[in-house]
Amino acid sequence: MPLSIAPQGTKVEVKKICAEDRVQKHLGELGILPGAHITVLSSGGGNVILKVKEGRLCIDGGLASRITVAPVC
């Protein structure tokens, strides 16, 4: 499912990022790369707020829709 529709409070694993190489590299530097576990804190107002490792990160809804994730059991 796209990250943009992941329910609030859900821990997910990043499966795929469909973006330009420079964007993928930047997201990887922030801790968002395939195999990473992140938590969706909020997804209202077009932006998605994530917990990545020990920090918080806000990304645009358009970019979030290009990140494929799966729930972590």
Q: Which two tokens stand for residue 2?
A: 């796209």
Mean pLDDT estimate for the chain: 95
Give the model's pLDDT for residue 46: 86
| Secondary structure class of 4 (helix, strand, coil) | helix
**Amino acid occupying residue 16:** K
Q: Is the pLDDT of residue 23 over 90?
A: yes
What is the CATH code of the structural domain delimited by 3-71?
2.30.30.90
Structure tokens at 45: 């107002």
With a pLDDT cut of 90, the percent of the chain lying above it is: 93
- Residue 25 is predicted with a pLDDT of 97
Is the pLDDT at 49 greater than 90? The verdict is yes
Predicted local distance difference test score (pLDDT) of residue 44: 81
- Using pLDDT thresholds of 50, 70 and 90, give the confidence band for residue 73: confident
List the chain domain ranges: 3-71
